Structure 1
Amino acid sequence: MIERDGLGAAARGLRQYLLAVAAKLDVPAWFCDVDAPAGAYLALERRLTRFPGHETALLWDERDGWAAAVESATGEDVIVLAYLGGDVLPPPETVVAFVRDLYGEEYPGQPDPPGFRRAGAPDGFDERLAAHAGDTVPLPEGHS
């Protein structure tokens, strides 16, 4: 279970993992929540041509991994378009390829949530996150 005070190795690892993905995508903004289930939101710079009036984002959570989404017309909700699938913590390069394909002609990934795991399950997930805790990812210029 991710230490909920945000200071544990798993929480630090989640932050470093998300920083790595955000840096590779040069996202303008992102945030994460380590409360169960842990999740993250990464704003993407470009809009999808098939949804020009809607902001585009990447979502991540500890159950289903990465998903591509657009904000609803009101901006209060997000609508998931596709899930990356494959792994709850894929390499950042895999996430980058998913985003690149998202802007192509077809939807990448899968339409249904993969349901990789149950939040808080003792399945080695925290150890996988903690392995990223020592990673150092430089922030892109202009980000803090």
Structure 2
Amino acid sequence: MTSASTGRDAGPAARFAAAHDNGLRERDEYRELAARTVTRMAHDRTDKALLLSILGLEPAADTGPRDLEPALAEYTRQVAEQIGVPADAVTYEVTDTATAYLGLTRRTTDLPRRDLMLVWDERHGWYIAIEPRGNDQPPVISHLGIQIAPPPATVARFVADVLHGRRRGQLSPLPPLLDRVTLAAQMAGIPA
């Protein structure tokens, strides 16, 4: 029985083949990531098809529960609408972690010169933090903390309370991590 070795003791041809295979694998991973990004950022199917075509990419393969991405998109849109945040100040993504960002247009009276952001992630839920300057870690002003994906109206009340100085506090203890199917259902308002 023989085994292929690609370490130091392998010949130049074996090392080249291993490096070539690794390069092809990395290229495919980057192309898949690019296709996922285009799919997420496209405005509609026509836009997605055009962008993928321009970049010479194939549609991204489905790699697991994708219900969270459309649920997060709609949930984030509803929260932004409740708060009055324009669409160009809203982003979200579902990768190894799911996150959303809303750039708030108003400031608190105790921090009149600092921009604020409303952030959501699948581990902490909603919190308001000061927009970082450079590579600073954004200081958290207040954490909603009641559940990971509360109704948009609850999030809007939380934001109003923080902006009017009626609520402060750091991150709460972490709740149990929800699986993404349950989280998507919670965002859609479906009882668990």
Q: What's the TM-score bracket when you normalise by the shorter of the two chains?
A: 0.7 to 0.9
Distance 2:185 2:96 in 1: 16
Counterpart of 1:53 in structure 2 is 113
TM-score (norm 2): 0.57
Find the partner of 1:87 among 124, 136, 147. 147
Q: 1:124 to 1:71 in 2, by over 3 A?
A: closer
| TM superposition shift of 1:30 | 0.8
Q: In structure 1, list runs of 5 or more residues that go unmatched.
A: 134-144
Q: Is the 8 A contact 1:14 1:129 kept in 2?
A: yes
Find the partner of 2:75 among 17, 20, 23. 17
Count of equivalent residues: 124
Runs (4 or more) in structure 1 with deviation over 4 Å come to 4-7, 130-133
Which SS does the other structure have where 1:51 is aligned? coil
Q: Deviations over 1:72-122 (max 9, x none)?
A: 3x25442211110110000001000001101223324x423331234xxxx
| Larger-gyration structure (1/2) | 2
Q: Deviations over 1:23-48 (max 9, x none)?
A: 11121311012112211110111011
Q: 1:129 to 1:105 in 2, by over 3 A?
A: same
1:116 aligns with 2:170: no
Higher alpha-carbon deviation: 61-70 or 24-33: 24-33
Q: Is the 8 A contact 1:37 1:62 kept in 2?
A: yes
Structure with larger RCO (C-alpha < 8 A, sep 6+)? 1
Matches within 5 A, 1:1-144: 5=36, 8-28=66-86, 29-72=89-132, 74-77=133-136, 78-108=138-168, 110-118=169-177, 123-130=178-185
Q: 1:114 to 1:125 in 2, by over 3 A?
A: farther
TM-score (norm 1): 0.74
More strand by share: 1
Counterpart of 1:141 in structure 2 is none
